Amino acid sequence: MTASEFSFVRHIFMEKRWIISLPPPQSELQAIGLALQTKPIVSALLWQRHIRDAEAARCFFKPAWEDLHNPFLMKGMLEAVQRLQKAIKMGEKVLIYGDYDVDGTTSVALMYLFLQKYLPNLLYYIPDRHKDGYGITQAGLDFAVAEGVSLIISLDCGTKSVEQVAYAASRDIDFIICDHHLPEAECFPVDAIALLNPKQSDCNYPFKELSGCAVGFKFLQGFCQKEGIRREELERYLDLVAVSIAADMVSMCGENRTLLCLGLAKMNSEPLLGLRALAQVSGIEKDSYSVRDIIFGIAPRINAASRMADAGDAVELLLAEHSEQDADEYARRLNFRNDSRKHIEREILQEAYQMLDSIETPYSTLLYNPKWNKGLLGIIANRSMERRYRPTIVLSATDMGQAVGSARSIYDFDLYAAIEACADLLDQFGGHKYAVGLAMPVENIEAFRQKFESIAADCISEDMWRAPLRIDLDITLSEITEDILQVVEQMEPFGTDNQRPLFCVKQVEIQDARVLKERHLKFRAAKDDTFIDCIGFGLGGYIEKIRAGHFFDICFYISKNTYYNPPRLQLEVKDLREAE
Cis-peptide into 493, omega within 30 deg: yes
Contacts of 77 (CB under 8 A, 6+ apart): 71, 194, 196, 218, 219, 222
Q: For residues 121 and 91, give the distance between their C-alpha atoms in angstroms, rounded to a whole number.
A: 7
pLDDT of res. 185: 65
pLDDT band at 8 (very low <50, low <70, confident <90, very high): very low
* pLDDT surpassing 90 at residue 419: yes
First-to-last C-alpha distance (Å) of the chain: 26
Q: For residues 29 and 329, give the distance between their C-alpha atoms in angstroms, rounded to a whole number.
A: 54
pLDDT of res. 405: 94
- Is the Cβ–Cβ distance between 83 and 207 less than 8 Å? no
Q: What does the H/E/C string look like for 31-97?
A: HHHHHHCCCHHHHHHHHHCCCCCHHHHHHHHCCCHHHCCCHHHCCCHHHHHHHHHHHHHHCCCEEEE
Amino acid (one-letter) located at 131? K
- Is the Cβ–Cβ distance between 545 and 553 less than 8 Å? no
What average pLDDT does the segment 168-191 reach?
Answer: 89
Q: What is the pLDDT of residues 291-339, one digit of tens each?
A: 999 999 999 999 998 888 888 899 999 999 889 999 999 999 999 999 9
pLDDT of res. 186: 66
* pLDDT surpassing 70 at residue 10: no
Q: What is the pLDDT of residues 540-564, one digit of tens each?
A: 989 988 888 789 999 999 999 888 7
What average pLDDT does the segment 187-202 reach?
Answer: 92
Could you give the C-alpha distances from 551 to 196, 334, 508, 539, 558, in angstroms and in order? 55, 49, 6, 16, 20
Distance, CA of 201 to chain centre: 23
Q: What is the pLDDT of residues 67-125, one digit of tens each?
A: 999 999 999 999 999 999 999 999 999 999 999 999 999 999 999 999 999 999 999 99
Q: What is the pLDDT of residues 426-460, one digit of tens each?
A: 998 888 888 899 999 999 999 999 999 999 999 99
Residue 151 — φ and ψ, nearest 5°?
-145, 130
Give the percent of the chain with pLDDT over 90: 76
Q: What mean pLDDT, rounded, does the chain reach?
A: 92
pLDDT band at 499 (very low <50, low <70, confident <90, very high): very high
pLDDT of res. 188: 83
Residue 428 — φ and ψ, nearest 5°?
-165, 145
Q: What is the pLDDT of residues 118-165, one digit of tens each?
A: 999 999 999 988 777 778 999 999 999 999 999 999 999 999 899 999
pLDDT of res. 288: 82
Q: What is the pLDDT of residues 236-266, one digit of tens each?
A: 999 999 999 999 888 999 999 999 999 999 9
- Is the Cβ–Cβ distance between 247 and 140 less than 8 Å? no
Cα four-point dihedral sign 123, 124, 130, 135: positive
Q: For residues 362 and 384, give the distance between their C-alpha atoms in angstroms, rounded to a whole number.
A: 15
Burial class (CB in 10 A: 0-12, 13-18, 19+), 60: buried
Burial class (CB in 10 A: 0-12, 13-18, 19+), 348: buried
pLDDT of res. 14: 63
Rg (CA), the chain: 25
Domains and CATH numbers, the chain: 3-23+468-578 (2.40.50.140), 66-237 (3.90.1640.30), 359-458 (3.10.310.30)
Helix (H) or strand (E) holding 184: none
- Is the Cβ–Cβ distance between 125 and 143 less than 8 Å? yes
Q: What is the pLDDT of residues 403-418, one digit of tens each?
A: 999 999 998 899 999 9
Q: What is the pTM of this model?
A: 0.88
Cis-peptide into 566, omega within 30 deg: yes
Q: For residues 318 and 272, give the distance between their C-alpha atoms in angstroms, rounded to a whole number.
A: 7
* pLDDT surpassing 80 at residue 194: yes
